Structure 1
Amino acid sequence: MVSGETFNLVYNEELDFLKTVPQPKEEDLYKYYESEDYISHTDEKRGVFSFLYQTVKKWSLKNKTNLIFKENYGVGSLLDVGAGTGDFLIAAKNNGWKVAGVEPNKNALKLAFEKGIELESNLDKFVGNQFDVVTLWHVLEHIPNLEETVMKLSKLVKPNGNLIIAVPNFKSYDANYYKEYWAAYDVPRHLWHFSKTSIEKLFANEFTLDKIKPMIFDSFYVSLLSEKYKTGNKFSLKAFWIGLKSNLSAKQSKEYSSHIYCFKKAK
């Protein structure tokens, strides 16, 4: 999207995930987010992709707040890691949650602040604190120091608390169909590419995986972007067909385009 560079995906057999190689230095990663097309750091609504993204986001915010309520059996304290422009935290706060968030992108931080949500730029700001629920919505794949971050997240969740993680699934039908054009690879912003096995293994020491939920709309949005990368078409009915086929295929395989993983920490 930004640099036009090429990256490889290297398979890790032990953890069943793919790693982006080479990985940019941590201090250089921000350069790959500096694009108006990277809409999760903006509130842009112009254009087909931005309009669809923002429309689905409104629907998903309600689902996310319902999910954290059910997982926690009520409201409590919430930390959202990779909070973007703060809309999820606003929705949670409006539903009675005590909220905090982390977001390293300066533009997103500014937009969140203008909405009344003050975010921290670094996870280390919360060392010594614990929360009833910690969420990462399509964030874990962006984080450079994976094992270190897993340990930090474990310490941030209260005993009997919840960790909720949403990530793309490289074993989905749409991933297999689009291959190197699959938009959810999104190299090098996505440094890791997870399967259900890898996510469960990464957090097995401290957490029990309670449930896995599909993200139905992701297959359609990702397929639209993938068709754009593959053919140059900004809008494609074929992409909707591939997105639908992906969801239908996943009814049998249970391999959706993206999954939400709901973990419970031991008491």
Structure 2
Amino acid sequence: MYERLTKCPLCKSGLFINQLVVEDKAISKESFIICACKNCDLWFTNPRPNEENIGSYYESPNYRSHQDKTSSITDFLYQIVRKYTLRQKLKWINSRYPKKGKILDYGCGMGLFVKTCQANGWEAYGLEPNANAAHIAQSKHQLTLIPNLEALHKHKKFDIITLFHVLEHVHLLNKTIKILLGRLKKRGLLFIAVPNREAPDAKSFGENWAAWDIPRHLYHFNVKSMQYLAEKHDCRIVETIPMRFDSYYVSLLSHQYKGSKNKFIKAFKSGYSSNKEASKTAKNHSSLLFILKKK
């Protein structure tokens, strides 16, 4: 059920140490170790559930990105923010790739971003490994999904490939990036959004920081480790964009995990403070969107 890594999943170095012990406060209440690689600076969950068994850690109404229901104020706020971020993601892509072409959203969840892109004139496709989310995308949103990575070879190359808060969930880190880059056009763009473990809110909340999201998050990136990933795969980071709304939502969940009173007020203050502090430190926000291009 669990697998213990003896080498860093990014750089394959054996030089890593135990950095943190974090509880899965959202679902299982189990505790997991986060290791820190001394070579590439990636932090990673170790040991971790293997690919065959990790699905049970997503099977909860608390995992909102795979749910289409509103049963709490937090769910309601999540859905409001999601509508805004769908438009924002599309705006980021259109402003950097004005000629609409072919786009793949890897880890598309319920397919909302795929639908948003299709409505905007893109030839948009989605790929979602989680069976529950894929079922919603297909049954409710009438999307035809690409079943797996191996099926990508049947498609012509893409102008844009997006992974919005997906890469931290992928077991085969380097293999996945290699396959996706192989299906990206020479002048295409790869959009990767991940939580940033060096954000002010991460330091403030410590082990209660909701974006650790153990054990669903297998990796915990910062700018240095993402730069290493880009260079390893012969890419360059052409732009880094702060995702400012994430700090508010992550702060809300973090205060919820801490059992804070007046969590909504405190979350707003924490999110605002984190964004303000991050702006002083080279856009070191709660989540960062990295835009990669092949060399």
What is the TM-score when the length of structure 2 is the normalising length? 0.87
Q: 1:66 aligns with which of 71, 85, 91?
A: 91
Alpha-carbon distance, 1:150 to partner:
1.7
2:64 aligned with 1:39: yes
Spell out, residue by residue over 1:11-34, the C-alpha distance to the aligned partner (whole angstroms, 9 max, x if none): 112222211111111100101000
Alpha-carbon distance, 1:153 to partner:
1.8
Alpha-carbon distance, 1:206 to partner:
2.6
Give the RMSD, CA atoms, in angstroms: 1.4
Structure 2 CA distance for aligned equivalents of residues 5 and 27 of structure 1: 18
Provide the residue aligned with 2:239 in structure 1.
211
**Any unmatched runs of 5+ in structure 1?**
none
Instruction: Please state whether the residue corresponding to 1:263 is helix, strand or coil.
Output: strand
Equivalent positions of 1:124-139 (< 5 A) are: 124-127=150-153, 129=155, 130-139=157-166
Alpha-carbon distance, 1:233 to partner:
4.9
Provide the residue aligned with 1:225 in structure 2.
253
Letter paired with 1:241: K
2:202 aligned with 1:186: no
Spell out, residue by residue over 1:63-121, the C-alpha distance to the aligned partner (whole angstroms, 9 max, x if none): 11111112223200001000011110001001111111110112211211121212134
Alpha-carbon distance, 1:237 to partner:
1.4
Provide the residue aligned with 2:113 in structure 1.
88
1:105·1:121 contact (CA, 8 Å) conserved in 2? no
Provide the residue aligned with 2:228 in structure 1.
201
Structure 1 CA distance for aligned equivalents of residues 263 and 137 of structure 2: 30
Equivalent positions of 1:230-241 (< 5 A) are: 230-231=258-259, 233=261, 235-241=263-269
Structure 1 CA distance for aligned equivalents of residues 190 and 215 of structure 2: 25
Structure of higher RCO (CA pairs closer than 8 Å, 6+ residues apart) = 1
Equivalent positions of 1:1-267 (< 5 A) are: 1-113=26-138, 114-127=140-153, 129=155, 130-204=157-231, 205-231=233-259, 233=261, 235-253=263-281, 254-266=283-295
Dislocated runs of 4+, deviation >6 Å: none
Alpha-carbon distance, 1:242 to partner:
1.1
Alpha-carbon distance, 1:46 to partner:
2.5
Spell out, residue by residue over 1:230-255, the C-alpha distance to the aligned partner (whole angstroms, 9 max, x if none): 12658331221111110000111121
Structure 2 CA distance for aligned equivalents of residues 74 and 105 of structure 1: 31
Spell out, residue by residue over 1:151-208, the C-alpha distance to the aligned partner (whole angstroms, 9 max, x if none): 1121121101000011000000000011111000000000000001111210223322
Instruction: Please state whether the residue corresponding to 2:31 is helix, strand or coil.
Output: coil
Structure 1 CA distance for aligned equivalents of residues 127 and 192 of structure 2: 15
Structure 1 CA distance for aligned equivalents of residues 205 and 150 of structure 2: 37
Letter paired with 1:137: F
Structure 1 CA distance for aligned equivalents of residues 188 and 153 of structure 2: 17
Letter paired with 1:226: S
What is the TM-score when the length of structure 1 is the normalising length? 0.96
Number of matched residues? 266
